[in-house]
Amino acid sequence: MATKRPRTLDGFFAQPSAKKQRPEELSGEEVIAVDSKDIATDKPSRDMSAHPTYPHAIPHLPAEIIDILNFAPAAEPRIMNDQPDLDLLYYQPYIPKEISKPLFEFLRRELFFYRVKYNIKRGSIETQINTPRYTTVFGLDETARFDANGQPVDAASGKPVKPGSYKVPPRPIPQCLDLLQNATNCKFNFALVNYYSNGNDSISYHSDDERFLGVEPAIASFTLGATRDFLMKHKPTEASHVSETKPMKLPLASGDMVLMKGMTQSRWLHSIPKRKGGDADKGRINITFRRAMVKGGTDNYYRYNVGDGEVYKWDESRREMMPWKRP
């Protein structure tokens, strides 16, 4: 068997997580509701992540995927800090190739998604935005935590969070995403998942520099499925060194991961543009792990990644996302 590679992310985080454990060794807080009932079938289950906020229970990762995930990262990172204000690690790949396809198919099949619509107001004009991709989110900001029963409690006192404190009830990160997070040997508190069903699904230029992420946030972004271009450009500023920067294009393939840290979010923009041809129509999943520091982060993430719309789930026979109804 190959020698396990040393971890490479520990030095970039102030509080790295403890050594990874096998799934059967995880505590009830790390594997959510492992002894609870499958919400969809009402049958007791020990191999599902279940929670009252989930539309349905989510199976745990198969053992064969977990075993190989223990060997992540599959390659040493390309260190990209040769442009002003850029601080990025590019893994090609991070997830071992043997499991990148089955992991993609598992997450697409088992997670639930939303096609969020929301209104934005610019001056007196209000516009409805239809999110051009499927989204879902799990997690809770630093001011609170989930207790052993999966209920939000105050991080300092341990007292239950007052009902209605959050506009959308927060949901714990399921085991299948938590183990992927653990593969970084770091601990974030949010997992955002985007599913790009074809080349028309996209995300415009933006930066993840919201105040609720704190100063110089670190964000780990995984790609599974189709290769899509990840474009980056420096934000327009008056600084003289901006003229020295060059736009970048990273062809993120299945299993790749970019770790953005330092001033990257405050000074650079990134996007996934529409794409014609290639394998884009085979679908792509992007998972970003991040740490929200205050309650506003929780409300923001659920508003723009869950919203009020219906639940979608992958239909294997139709090979597309379809509205899901409780059995």
DSSP letter for each residue of 184-240: TT---SEEEEEEE-STT--EEEE----GGG-SS--EEEEEEES-EEEEEEEPP-S-G
**What pLDDT, on the 0 to 100 scale, is given for residue 244?**
79
Name the token pair of 220. Answer: 């780990």
| Residue-level pLDDT at 121 | 72
76 Cβ contact partners less than 8 Å away, ≥ 6 residues apart: 8, 91
Under 8 Å between Cβ of 254 and 224:
yes
What pTM does this model have?
Answer: 0.85
Region 21-38: mean pLDDT is: 36
Least confident window among 73-77, 123-127, 173-177, 271-275:
123-127
Fold annotation for 47-315? Jelly Rolls (2.60.120)
Whole-angstrom distance between the N-terminal and C-terminal Cα of the chain? 44
Task: pLDDT band for 45, please (50, 70, 90 cuts).
Answer: low
Residue 22: predicted pLDDT? 33
Residue 8: pLDDT over 50: no
pLDDT of residue 242: 67
Return the percentage of the chain with pLDDT > 70, whole number: 84
Quick one: which H or E segment has residue 53? none
Q: Where are the domains of the chain?
A: 47-315
State residue 27's pLDDT score.
32
- CA distance to 208, 289, 299, per residue, from 233 (Å): 14, 22, 28
Task: State mean pLDDT over 8-12.
Answer: 44
- C-alpha to C-alpha distances, 90 to 59, 93, 220, 253, nearest whole angstrom: 30, 8, 10, 11
pLDDT in tens, 59-94: 999 999 999 999 999 999 999 999 999 999 999 999
- Indicate whether 326 pLDDT > 50: yes
pLDDT tens-place string over residues 115-172? 998 777 777 777 777 899 999 999 999 999 999 999 999 999 999 999 999 999 999 9
Mean pLDDT in residue range 232-242: 79
Binned at pLDDT 50, 70 and 90, residue 32 comes out as very low
